[in-house]
Amino acid sequence: MSAVRQPFAVVQGTFDTQGSIDQTVTDEIVIALCGPMGTPLHSVAKVFKELLEGNDYKYEQVTVIRLSDLIKKHSGLPKTASTEELIDAGNKLREDHSSAVLAQLAVNEITIARALRAPPVEKPRQLTFSGAEEIVVPAPPVRHCHIIDSIKTAGELRMLRSVYGDMLHVIGVYSPIELRIEQLKKKNEDEHVHRLINRDSGEEVKHGQSVRETFPQADFFLRADTNTDAELQQRVRRFLDLMLGTRIITPTIAERAMYAAFSAARNSACLSRQVGAAITNDKGDILATGWNDVPKAFGGLYQSDNESAKAVDDHRCWNKDGGKCYNDEEKDLIARTIIARLVDKQVVAEADRSAAEDVVRKDTQLRGLIEFSRAVHAEMHALLNAGSTHGSQIRGGKLFVTTYPCHSCARHLVAAGVKEVYFVEPYRKSLATKLHPDAITEAEADAKKVRIIPFDGIAPSRFLKFFSAPAIGRKDPTNGTMRKPTGRPVTGITLEAIQTLEGLATKGLESLLSNPLPNTQENA
Q: Which three-class secondary structure string do you get for 301-340?
A: ECCCCCCCCCHHHCCCHHHCCCCCCHHHHHHHHHHHHHHH
- For every residue of 114-171, DSSP letters joined together read HHHTPPPPPPPPPP--TTPPP-EEEPPPP-EEEEEE---SHHHHHHHHHHHGGGEEEE
Residue 10 confidence class, pLDDT cut points 50, 70, 90 = low
Sign of CA dihedral 292, 413, 282, 230: positive
Instruction: Calculate mean pLDDT across residues 387-408.
Output: 96
User: Does position 164 have pLDDT exceeding 90, yes or no?
Assistant: yes
Number of H helices, E strands in the chain: 19, 16
Q: What percent of the chain has pLDDT over 70?
A: 85
Contact 327, 373 (CB under 8 A): yes
Task: Among 36-45, 204-213, 373-382, name the one with the lowest average pLDDT.
Answer: 204-213
Contact 3, 124 (CB under 8 A): no
User: Does position 137 have pLDDT exceeding 90, yes or no?
Assistant: no
Residue 456 confidence class, pLDDT cut points 50, 70, 90 = very high
Residue 389 confidence class, pLDDT cut points 50, 70, 90 = very high
User: Does position 82 have pLDDT exceeding 70, yes or no?
Assistant: yes
User: Does position 11 have pLDDT exceeding 60, yes or no?
Assistant: no
Residue 160 confidence class, pLDDT cut points 50, 70, 90 = very high
Instruction: Calculate mean pLDDT across residues 253-262.
Output: 99
Q: For residues 357 and 202, what is the distance between their CA atoms, to the nearest angstrom?
A: 24
Q: For residues 201 and 144, what is the distance between their CA atoms, to the nearest angstrom?
A: 32
Residue 139 confidence class, pLDDT cut points 50, 70, 90 = low
Contact 275, 404 (CB under 8 A): no
Residue 298 confidence class, pLDDT cut points 50, 70, 90 = very high
* pLDDT at residue 476, rounded to an integer: 86
Q: For residues 442 and 421, what is the distance between their CA atoms, to the nearest angstrom?
A: 10
Q: What percent of the chain has pLDDT over 90?
A: 60
Task: Determine how β-strand 450-454 pairs with β-strand 440-441.
Answer: parallel
Q: For residues 488 and 236, what is the distance between their CA atoms, to the nearest angstrom?
A: 17
Residue 369 confidence class, pLDDT cut points 50, 70, 90 = confident
Q: For 93-114, how does the pLDDT look when each residue is reduced to its tens digit (9 = 90+)?
A: 998 888 899 999 999 999 999 8
* Residues in CB range of 136: below 8 A, 6 or more apart: 5, 6, 7, 8, 124
Residue 205 confidence class, pLDDT cut points 50, 70, 90 = very low
* pLDDT at residue 430, rounded to an integer: 87
- List, in sequence order, every beta strand (DSSP E) within 154-240: 168-174, 220-223
Instruction: Calculate mean pLDDT across residues 456-471.
Output: 95
User: Does position 228 have pLDDT exceeding 70, yes or no?
Assistant: no
* pLDDT at residue 331, rounded to an integer: 93
Task: Among 43-52, 128-137, 195-204, 457-466, name the one with the lowest average pLDDT.
Answer: 128-137
Residue 472 confidence class, pLDDT cut points 50, 70, 90 = confident
Residue 119 confidence class, pLDDT cut points 50, 70, 90 = low
15: left (phi over 0), alpha (psi -120 to 50) or beta: beta
Instruction: Give whole-number Cα distances, 389 to 33, 105, 152, 286, 309, in Å.
Output: 42, 54, 43, 12, 27
More confident of the two residues 260 and 486 = 260
User: Does position 7 have pLDDT exceeding 50, yes or no?
Assistant: no
* pLDDT at residue 194, rounded to an integer: 67
Instruction: Calculate mean pLDDT across residues 279-301.
Output: 97
Reported as half-sphere exposure (CB side, CA atoms, 13 A), residue 48 has a value of 31
Residue 175 confidence class, pLDDT cut points 50, 70, 90 = confident
Instruction: Calculate mean pLDDT across residues 346-374.
Output: 91
Residue 308 confidence class, pLDDT cut points 50, 70, 90 = low
Mean pLDDT for all residues in the chain: 86
User: Does position 201 have pLDDT exceeding 70, yes or no?
Assistant: no
Contact 33, 157 (CB under 8 A): no
Q: Where are the alpha helices (DSSP H) in 308-448?
A: 326-344, 353-362, 378-390, 407-416, 432-435
Contact 287, 405 (CB under 8 A): no
Q: For 483-516, how does the pLDDT look when each residue is reduced to its tens digit (9 = 90+)?
A: 888 899 999 888 888 989 999 999 878 777 766 5
More confident of the two residues 98 and 342 = 342
* pLDDT at residue 178, rounded to an integer: 79
pTM: 0.86
User: Does position 267 have pLDDT exceeding 60, yes or no?
Assistant: yes
